[in-house]
Amino acid sequence: MNNQLNSTEYDIPPDMEGQVAITTLDKVYNWSRRNSIWPMMFGLACCGIEMICAATSRFDFSRFGMEVMRPSPRQSDLMIVSGTVTKKMIPQIVRLYNQMPEPKYVLAMGACASGGGPFKEGYSVVDGVDKFIPVDVYVPGCPPTPQALLHGLITLQKKIDHQSIKNVRWYSKEQLEPVPVPVLGPDLMDPREYELIKEISAEKLADEQQEPEAEQA
């Protein structure tokens, strides 16, 4: 344990090795977080089965301190989006993401969650969960194997290792705004694009009003 925690800039005298560690606050902070990531269960389609396999005895991601799969966003650090994200589902995903406390991470598991996958052109499918929430790690594949998911989780641990308490967003002075929850009507509406949608609708309306006038003339 102390080998992981020890800062490389300091030499520990040989007779104290294994008993003493000289380290930084960042290292201790990141070491504790990287080894206790609690994922939120989020199996949306076939990829969900592979995610479940990663928790079984053969792959056993509890080795990484991740065995506590939460059914609630309120005690979770990591949202694993595994499976096809439909337009009907994305408002719930964004709402749950907003309900997760900081620090929080998102892992997009599989082609569907990363970019729409085989259903990319489908009328009911979102072409990538990253259109709405920030994704930290993408795990490619259709479906990715449990080993690939483990690799994604190790990649996330490496990302955490490089974060510093000085500039992480959850300690910044600015207020962290929640992601606007998309609205599902005849199609999905992203509230961040509301002004653009209003502009295009106004142009369309003006065109439609001009057409009958031109026909009459």
Instruction: Tell which positions 78-137 bind ligand SF4, by CB under 6 A.
Output: 83-84, 110-112, 117-118
HEC string of 189-200? ECHHHHHHHHHH
Size of the site for ligand SF4 (CB under 6 A): 12
By beta-carbon proximity to ligand SF4, the closer residue of 85 and 94 is 85
Least separation in angstroms between residue 116's CB and ligand SF4 is 9
141, amino acid identity: G
| 18 binds ligand SF4, rule: CB under 6 A | no
Least separation in angstroms between residue 160's CB and ligand SF4 is 25
Counting every residue written for the chain, the total comes to 217
Binds ligand SF4 (CB under 6 A): choice among 45, 51, 54, 81: 45
18 torsion bin: left (phi>0), alpha (psi -120 to 50), beta (else) = left
Which residues have C-beta within 8 Å of that of residue 80, sequence separation ≥ 6? Answer: 39, 40, 41, 42, 51, 107, 109, 149
Least separation in angstroms between residue 118's CB and ligand SF4 is 5
> Which string of x and - marks every residue 146-165 that binds ligand SF4 (by CB under 6 A)?
--------------------
Beta pairing, strands 188-189 & 183-184: antiparallel
Q: Which stretch in 44-52, 71-79, 159-167, 172-180 sits in contact with ligand SF4 by CB under 6 A?
A: 44-52
Q: Which one, of 157, 126, 148, 131, lies nearest residue 45 by Cα? A: 126
Handedness of CA 72, 76, 82, 87 (dihedral sign): positive
Binds ligand SF4 (CB under 6 A): choice among 12, 46, 179, 189: 46
Least separation in angstroms between residue 48's CB and ligand SF4 is 8
Where does this chain bind ligand SF4 (CB under 6 A)?
A: 45-47, 83-84, 110-112, 117-118, 142-143
